[in-house]
Amino acid sequence: MKISTLIARLFVAATFLFSGFVKLVDPLGSAYKLTDYFAPDVLNLEFLIPYALPLSILLIVAEILLGVMLLIGYKPKFTVWALFVMTLLFLFLTWYSAYYDKVTDCGCFGDAIKLTPWETFNKNVLLIILIGFLIYAIKYIKPLFSKNISRWLTFGSLVVFLYITYHVLTHLPLIDFRPYAIDKNIKDGMEEIAIDGLPKVHDFYLETNDGDDLTDELLNKNNVMLVVAYDIDISDNQGFANIKAATDLAKENGYTVYGLSASYIDDLLVLNEEYKLDFEWLFVDATVLKTIIRANPGIITMDKGTVTGKWNWIDADDFKP
């Protein structure tokens, strides 16, 4: 029984640590997934959409922190019951996604590992069984350290996790698992097939206000800078001063510069006038823009379709031609 308990404990702890970590480095991705679940045609909880980010941070930190607590054996009774309740929630959401074909990617492992809805549901079934076993075998979960050391390890982990969250929200994800990561080629991503049967890069169309498609042209150009602002109504507007400095510098050094947005052209023209932005805007689906970069606004640079740099607006002055 002791060996079985140890194996189950390690497996569950490792799963929650890994799952929590790959989401911790990109909490906005989890917030976007929660927004999908809250949509009218899914759970119809639209009133929760404004709270998607804080809720995602709460779930992510709880997930990875409970993994730490189970691993070191701190407050085992509270820990396993909290894991049981959390996994029940995930079990329901993944069953709902799979059965009703609503959210085809729950983001349970962030963008690091893609699972089908039924694979994700089956993973949660296995977890709920193992956690149920740990509840039954609770007396065999022994702490690795003294109570005082375990308490400080848990508190220290919480501080680290909160700092990482702050850092990645202020800048960009520590690790980028998406097909638009630095050194990834977007044209190659259009050829690679993901687990859902679609290309890893799809719906990447860069259209002018007149309806002209500039996708191929820009993916075959050297030195391209794209300013991404998927919705300027909720953009960090103070960031456009930094954006202007970076885009002006890029143009002085021979870069082709465009903005990408899903906002209305009239609003974008007002924005250009207000901040003296010297580039035209192309139109892209908002979901694609959120996938390209976790910033609003942000900057990416490309060379013949290969992403060479990405910056949140706060780091725009780090761009060097």
Specify the pLDDT at position 43: 82
Two tokens at 145? 């350290």
Mean pLDDT, to the nearest integer, of 182-210?
88
In 196-317, which ranges are continuous DSSP H helix?
A: 215-219, 239-252, 265-275, 286-292
Nearest CA-CA partner of 138 in 68, 71, 72, 76 = 76
Q: Is the pLDDT of residue 112 over 70?
A: no
For the chain, which residues make up each domain, given as ranges?
Answer: 2-170, 186-318
Specify the pLDDT at position 106: 63
Among left, alpha and beta (phi > 0; psi -120 to 50; other), residue 223 is left
Specify the pLDDT at position 2: 84
Specify the pLDDT at position 305: 95
Q: Does domain 186-318 have CATH number 3.40.30.10?
A: yes
Cis peptide leading into residue 199 (ω within 30°): no
d(CA 22, CA 109): 6
d(CA 83, CA 161): 18
- Calculate the alpha carbon distances from 197 to 72, 147, 166, 201, 267 in Å: 40, 49, 35, 11, 36
Segment among 105-114, 127-136, 198-207 with least mean pLDDT: 105-114
Nearest CA-CA partner of 318 in 126, 202, 104, 171 = 171
Percent residues over pLDDT 90 in the chain: 75
Angle of helix 52-72 versus helix 147-170 axis, rounded to 10: 150
Specify the pLDDT at position 203: 86
Predicted structure pTM score: 0.89
Computed over every residue of the chain, the mean pLDDT equals: 91
pLDDT single digits (tens) 236-289: 888 999 999 999 999 999 999 999 999 999 999 999 999 999 999 999 999 999
Comparing 98 with 128, the larger pLDDT belongs to 128
Q: Is the pLDDT of residue 104 over 70?
A: no
pLDDT single digits (tens) 43-98: 888 899 899 999 999 999 999 999 999 999 999 999 999 999 999 988 888 888 78
Question: Maximum distance among all alpha carbons in the chain?
Answer: 71
Specify the pLDDT at position 45: 86
Mean pLDDT, to the nearest integer, of 204-220?
93
What is the band of 141 on the pLDDT scale with cuts at 50, 70, 90? very high
Q: Is the pLDDT of residue 107 over 70?
A: no
